[in-house]
Structure 1
């Protein structure tokens, strides 16, 4: 088999380079104009709240058990009537995610029984200090909206923890779903 001259191989390589010279460059202006993320992108975690401001995290530690990278640390504590941070018996007193270890798999999200933990599209988490990449509860909690009350505070009057879990709580108190009898109308029927 005859060998091709080196000149032909070089010209073929130059032809590829020459054709790409006239294509429009694909340049992202990242720091100035960050691009959109995919809808299901797994970014920074967020601890969610109920509509009245109570935290959804019940301190069960299932997210920490599900994490394959051992990046989550949760320490639960008991709610009291004087200091209630979430409906029910417990809340997450200490909540930390170590983003130096997190692999963004989302198994913690699937393990959460109250949908307290979700992932946002925020991806800018770089820092020059390793200690700042361990996010505590203050950085992870969803911000309070104007109609929310900062915990600790009592649950909505007349509500149970099940009302919170079923989504029957609004920012102004207990709301009954459409078609469900209220407590007073049920008592009148009985």
Structure 2
């Protein structure tokens, strides 16, 4: 096996002393020293959240305070990491949801498994699950990061009925477009 010897060109005096690299580094530093800082002091300063940000999935109620979830389990089936677990149950007669046959007895989302893809929100026919702009999910144990139905409703609150996901005609009429 032959060894091929490479000839390197000799370095100049400036290259030997690293002066061009030092000068270019100082140039960048002087250019950025008078710009405002981009670092946020996080707990005190919160970042600007984009409008279409996909954060923590939560359950919402209708303007009358009734649960919107009808326990169809589509979100559970479409969830890629299987982070959602729903146990359907019968609703009592006096629940105020006479048009609904069943509701979730248990609704759990494991935030450790959730990948915030938004499939659950897209597939929900009742618009009961929404991705909020909450991005800081923390807890002292794994059990604290499995959100139950009460915690999900607490985070979600009430959503006004201004969205018409499945009824395009109703949405167009509401916007003033008769066609």
Please give the TM-score of this superposition, normalised by the length of structure 2.
Answer: 0.71
Deviation at 1:88, TM superposition (A): 1.3
Deviation at 1:129, TM superposition (A): 2.1
Q: Within 1, Cα distance between the matches of 2:98 and 2:89?
A: 11
Deviation at 1:86, TM superposition (A): 7.1
Deviation at 1:101, TM superposition (A): 1.0
Please give the TM-score of this superposition, normalised by the length of structure 1.
Answer: 0.67
Equivalent residues of 2:63, 2:158 under 8 A apart: no
Structure 2: where are the runs of 5+ without partners? 1-8, 160-165, 168-179
Q: Within 1, Cα distance between the matches of 2:127 and 2:98?
A: 13
Corresponding position: 1:65 with 2:65:
no
**SS in structure 2 at match of 1:129:** coil
Let me know the Cα RMSD of the aligned residues: 2.6
Equivalences for residues 108-187 of structure 1 within 5 A? 108-141=120-153, 142-143=156-157
Equivalences for residues 24-35 of structure 1 within 5 A? 24-35=36-47
Which structure: greater helix fraction? 2
**SS in structure 1 at match of 2:133:** coil
**SS in structure 1 at match of 2:24:** helix
Equivalent residues of 1:85, 1:91 under 8 A apart: no
Q: Within 2, Cα distance between the matches of 1:140 and 1:85?
A: 19
Corresponding position: 1:99 with 2:121:
no
Corresponding position: 1:10 with 2:22:
yes
Cα 1:86/1:60, change in 2 over 3 Å: farther
* Equivalent residue pairs, number: 148
Deviation at 1:99, TM superposition (A): 0.7
> Larger radius of gyration, structure 1 or 2?
2
Deviation at 1:26, TM superposition (A): 1.8
Equivalent residues of 1:57, 1:86 under 8 A apart: no
Deviation at 1:32, TM superposition (A): 1.1
Corresponding position: 1:39 with 2:51:
yes
